Amino acid sequence: MYVSEKESGIENYDTQFMYALELLKTKSKEALLTAITLLESGFKRSSQPDRRRECLYLIAIAHTKLGDYEKAIQCCKSLIEVNPEDHQAVELREEIERRTRRDGLTGLALIGGAALGVIGAITAVAIAARHSR
């Protein structure tokens, strides 16, 4: 429906919003980026605080799904500044922070594992060199 409306030059907020919601259900990077574009457009065009809040929250979700935690946290912070009791935004920010810590620890583990592998290889070469003398 959104595509046919857009082709005819009509841009209805509700249709655009519903299409963005559908796109958020996927794991496709392209679909998520399209959802962000649609939601940013809706955010800019709307003067209604509730609609603007919905758009910004969903933009944060899309960025989270893309792994762009910095942008997602920024969206959450903006929502919390406007309404410190926005439980959804607070919970999403906390989840993003957990993922950031988890991903950081995973990265450190991979680096540590690679370093141990290199040290092991160097040690093996050194031992082999000693035994060949």
Tens of pLDDT along 9-64? 677 888 999 999 999 999 999 999 999 999 999 999 999 999 999 999 999 999 99
Rounded Cα–Cα distance for residues 3 and 41 (Å) = 15
Cα of 43 vs its chain's centroid, Å: 18
pTM listed for this prediction: 0.73
Q: Is the sign of the CA dihedral 29, 31, 36, 37 positive or negative?
A: positive
CB neighbours of 9 closer than 8 A, spacing ≥ 6?
none
What Rg, from alpha-carbon coordinates, does the chain have?
23
- Predicted pLDDT of residue 127: 60
What domains appear along the chain, each with residue ranges and CATH number?
2-131 (1.25.40.10)
More confident of the two residues 73 and 117: 73
- Given a cut of 60, is residue 117 above it in pLDDT? no
Tens of pLDDT along 70-86? 999 999 999 999 999 99
Considering only CA atoms, which of 41, 43, 106, 35 is closest in space to residue 64? 35
